[in-house]
A = this chain, B = another copy of it.
Amino acid sequence: MSLRIGEVEVEDTFAEAFPCWVARILITAESEKWLYAAAYSATGFATSLIMSPAEAGIERYVPPSETPDRRPGIIIQITHPKKEKLEEQLLRRIGQCVMTCPTTAVFNALESEETVDVGDKLRFFGDGFQEEGEVGDRFVWRIPVMEGEFLTEDVFGVVEGVAGGNFIIMGKTRSEALKAAEVAVEAMRAAAKVVPIFPGGICRSGSKVGSLKYEFLHASTNHLYCPTLRDKVPDSKVPPEVNAIYEVVFNGISVDEIKKATGAGIRAAAACPGVVKITAVNFEGKLGPYKIYLREALS
């Protein structure tokens, strides 16, 4: 059974998602050059826990009028299933990729009763020369560095959020499918507090759990969705007209945000030419506790 948006078939299915601890961090800097340098570094090597030490992505740009130090900002999210591991990843990624980066400062962007220490540990880098400070009503550490001072908020909120929100875009040509996925990512970013976790927001190599052939593998290509294998595997799910498929995968701070992102992303993708079908990945509900029904997300 299916829904429709214009000529695009939307499968009446659900995305299967997972609980995950999430931190939401605001980086500010003097210019976008340094903002993005820090954000790309801090969210790099973080596409999927299958082989990355965390999952992370860029949520949105924040104009200077809305940041504590009145400088341009970027919000990133970093996620890990275990809270202690998340704290460790925050320390490593902020300490190595933001503290080192010219002109940046770091603030918490998630109110929560659950917290992890970040500034409170990074401050030791100041070797006793660090000082307490305030930016607006926020308590920060001022850590002396060669450039001057690095400012970081003390404590960061974390919540049990959601990993693995997703939908799949099937297109007639590669360029049409990819452009639709790009538009979907932009619309998602406009709509919700989520982060796409793959490079540029889009995954072209969706995987299945395990492998048909190699026992030692945890994950292998989702052969049922490979257009070049349509005539080679009996149960291919690639429709006749389709020659390229992309998956948008995103984490967020709540099921509600994931739903909003799903709805906006699918609608925007469906506005683009050459999109044949949109669906989502699930494991028939066996693995993840959250089911994001496309029908609901679009209602």
Contact of A129 among B34, B100, B223 (CB under 8 A): B223
In the complex the two chains form, is B187's CB within 8 Å of A268's CB? Answer: yes
A123 to chain B, nearest CB (A): 10
Given A41-B44, A200-B101, are A223 and B271 also a contact pair (CB < 8 Å)? no
Would you call A174 and B147 a contact (CB within 8 A)?
Answer: yes
CB atoms of B272 and A146 under 8 A apart: no
Residues of B contacting A102 in the complex (Cβ-Cβ under 8 angstroms)? 178, 181, 199-200, 202, 204, 246
A290 to chain B minimum Cβ distance, whole angstroms, is: 21
**With an 8 A cutoff between CB atoms, is A139 at the interface?**
no
User: Is A135 part of the binding interface, using a Cβ–Cβ cutoff of 8 Å?
Assistant: no
The stretch among A13-21, A25-33, A79-87, A155-163 that forms the contact with chain B is A25-33
> Could you tell me the distance in whole angstroms from the C-beta of A50 to the nearest C-beta in chain B?
7
B191 touches A227 (CB 8 A): no
Bound form: Cα–Cα A222–B99 in Å: 13
Query: Is A228 an interface residue when CB atoms closer than 8 A count as contact?
Result: yes
Identify the closest chain B residue to A182 (Cβ): B186
- Inter-chain contact B225/A30, CB cutoff 8 Å: no
Given A32-B32, A92-B51, A199-B37; A217-B45 close (CB under 8 Å): no
The yes or no answer to A133 lying at the interface (CB within 8 A) is no
Interface membership of A283, Cβ < 8 A:
no
Q: By the criterion CB–CB under 8 Å, are A148 and B228 in contact?
A: yes
Closest 8 CB pairs of A and B: A44-B44, A37-B200, A267-B271, A147-B204, A37-B199, A127-B220, A146-B245, A101-B199
